[in-house]
Amino acid sequence: MKSSVCRLLVSVFVFLLSLSLGFGQKEPSPADTFLLKDYRPQSIYKIPITRVEKAKYPVIDVHSHTYAKTLEAIDRWVQVMDEVGVEKTIILSGATGEEFDKIYDDHAGRYPDRFQIWCGFDFEGADEPGWSDKAVKELVRCYNKGARGVGEIGDKGKGFIFGGPKPAPGLHANDPRMDPLFEKCAELGIPVNIHVADPYWMYQPMDAHNDGLMNAAEWRLDNQEGILSHEEMLLTLEGACSRHPKTTFIACHFANCSHDLARLGTMFDKYPNLNADISARYAETSPIPRYVKKFIEKYQDRLLYGTDMGVNPEMYRITFRVLETADEHFYEQELFGYHWSMNGFDLEPSLLEKIYRTNALRLLSKE
């Protein structure tokens, strides 16, 4: 009996000693120590890889910004447009006053056939009496200078935070104070590009269940107080479309309904004056290519090509690859910020031509 107890004690001692010395321990798995922010998967599938050097049809990019800060940079931008097949770029300056005038002169003043410049709304003093009249007056001045649209005006839940020289907390698209401005846009025949909400992942908890976590964490809205919900933001857009049926609205980024395109479809069905650009949502839609393709086929007359991601030629080419090819399971983390693999939509030529150019020609104000 004593010998058995002794043997047991010796075994326990040896086990404890081995633990203290690290014997018998398994090396930590990379999955236990690797940081998600450093994850850069590379596909090993031996499948077709298509490089689209130039768009299949001439492109009108309806969603870009003032990326080029010098005349030389603007010249280079035009060269890139030639390389990739972009016929014209719409610059959503969101500017008014002297800032708008300079942007117009530097871009459209030098390249009238290659750039169309849109202004913003002057939101300064939006909570003061008489603001709407003042803002309409500046809108007309910008139009007379050459503005052929308004935007991008943006509201992520607290009011218009961009699209003018100053933010306008508490001012949403369905606010009666916006009525004179939207009505003037209808009278002038110029569209309004409007950003409502953000992708739905930004509203979800930043936890292990959020499949867009890395990008969502950077742009998160789940921790914002006093902010309208995603659905409430869409209702502000619907309110504007309903109140101003003669005004053409372009909801940028699929109206931030990438996760639920059927919701955008219901708005298309209700409001003939609503359209959407597809800019900066290639990563969010390419993981579900068959569903998105069906959506594009159904609403092919309401969608417009846009980028919103700079002027690098490879940026344009990745968007062409998504739209034009049937490529599967490829990555572009650095540009989009997600870890999802992407897939091409393989759109028919007739759809491509509408998305790239024809729909824009129908909607854009003529010079």
CATH code for position 214: 3.20.20.140
The answer to whether position 17 is within a domain reads no
Say if 30 falls within a structural domain.
no
Residue 352 forms part of a structural domain: yes
pLDDT on residue 34: 80
Q: What separation in angstroms does the CA of 347 have from each of 254, 307, 324, 354? A: 17, 18, 6, 11
pLDDT tens, 289-325?
A: 999 999 999 999 999 999 999 999 999 999 999 999 9
Q: Which range marks the domain in which residue 137 is found?
A: 57-312+347-363
**Residue that the structure tokens 């504007």 belong to:** 240
Q: Is residue 215 part of a domain?
A: yes
Q: 163: exposed, middle or buried (C-beta count within 10 Å: 0-12, 13-18, 19+)?
A: buried
Residue 42, in any domain of the structure: no
State which residues of the chain have pLDDT below 70.
1-26, 365-367
HEC string for the chain = CHHHHHHHHHHHHHHHHHHHHCCCCCCCCHHHHCCHHHCCCCCCCCCCCCCCCCCCCCEEEEEECCCCCCHHHHHHHHHHHHHHCEEEEEEECCCCHHHHHHHHHHCCCCCCCCEEEEECCCCCCCCCCCHHHHHHHHHHHHHHHCCCCEEEEEECCCEEEECCCCCEECCCCCCHHHHHHHHHHHHHCCCEEEEECCCHHHHCCCCCCCCCHHHHHHCCCCCCCCCCCHHHHHHHHHHHHHHCCCCCEEECHHHHCCCCHHHHHHHHHHCCCEEEECCCCHHHHCCCHHHHHHHHHHCCCCEECCCCCCCCHHHHHHHHHHHHCCCCCECCHHHHCCCCCECCCCCCHHHHHHHHHHHHHHHCCCC
β-pair partners for 88: 60
Q: What is the pLDDT of residue 334?
A: 87
Is 233 part of any domain?
Answer: yes
- Report the pLDDT value the prediction gives residue 20, as an integer from 0 to 100: 54
Look at residues 103, 108, 100, 107 and name the one whose alpha carbon lies nearest to residue 74: 107
> Quick one: which of 170, 278, 306, 283 has its CA closest to 219?
283
Q: Is residue 122 part of a domain?
A: yes
Q: What is residue 92's predicted lDDT score, i.e. its pLDDT?
A: 98
- Total count of domains within the chain: 1
Note whether residue 40 is domain-resident.
no
Residue 103 near residue 66 (C-beta atoms within 8 A): yes
pLDDT of residue 272: 98
